[in-house]
Amino acid sequence: MHIEGIPMSDLTYRPNRVIWLVVAIIAVAARPALAQDDGWTSAFEMFFWPGNRLGLIVTWLLIALSLVSVSLTIYHVLLNRAAMILPDDAVEAVEQLIRERDFRGAIDLTAEDDSVFGQTMHAALGEASNGYGAMERAVEETSDLLAARRVRKLELLNVLGAVGPMIGLFGTVYGMIVTFQSIVETAGTAKPDELAAGISTALVTTFWGLIVGIPAIAAYALIRTRIDAQVAEAVVVIDGLIGRFRPSSRRSSSGGGGEGDSAQPKPAE
């Protein structure tokens, strides 16, 4: 399968490429901070290196989830482009075949089209021998099924958007526990540097939890809205194309004779 010249195999590996690209950018950005030795906490330590082991694990788990979230967002943006749901060239080709009354050609063409338009149109033409009502039902059922499949694939982004902040909250609670434990152990006389590790863990994990959750939820909502809108547009286009099989349209185009029934294609074998 191809997406406008891009092989699906390349699209499958694109998330991995994005992850490594982001890791490289982080590494390059961190080098100047790591090179500093002026007694101040470096930017790298501030955002990527909390003061205790569990906080470090939670932070880098959230960083990994943020990379996965970015990769999935790019993948689904490409997967749900207009060319994958309602390709203009396919619409024009099918419209031309129907205008020429080459219904077998339209059935064969849509059978090879993996877009939502192609699969839904193929299902509708396959039900033509059962009447216009059957064609409408096929359009509705097939479009709903294909839209649901795309949304199910997208659901992982929604899960990341919900789980990321919860993992960050876990780190927040753990960091506060560490902080208060330091206060208890020193009988309330803990120095700021003794409290820094717990507070740092609490704030850094909260930060990365939000970095995971906010973009993931936003991307899920925007891409899902895009899927729904484009599938609805595809259904409108298909309804217009199969309108010529409506009984009243056939009678008016054939002058009320039986010749209009010949406009009905044979079911796909």
Domains of the chain, residue spans: 14-48, 50-263
* Low-confidence winner among 87-91, 109-113, 219-223, 260-264 (lowest mean pLDDT): 260-264
Q: Is the pLDDT of residue 149 over 90?
A: yes
More confident site: 249 or 106: 106
φ/ψ (deg, to 5) at 51 = -85, 5
pLDDT for the residue 18: 47
Q: If we measure between CA atoms, which residue out of 90, 85, 48 comes closest to residue 241?
A: 90
Tracing tokens 């939000």 back to the chain, one arrives at 210
238's tokens: 């298909």
- pLDDT tens by residue, 131-145: 889 999 999 999 999
Tracing tokens 């208890």 back to the chain, one arrives at 184
- pLDDT tens by residue, 168-183: 999 999 888 888 888 8
pLDDT for the residue 181: 83
- pLDDT tens by residue, 7-63: 444 444 444 554 454 445 444 444 554 444 444 457 667 777 777 788 889 999 999
pTM, two decimal places: 0.72
Q: Which segment, 123-137, 200-214, 219-233, is predicted with the most confidence on average?
A: 219-233
pLDDT for the residue 268: 44
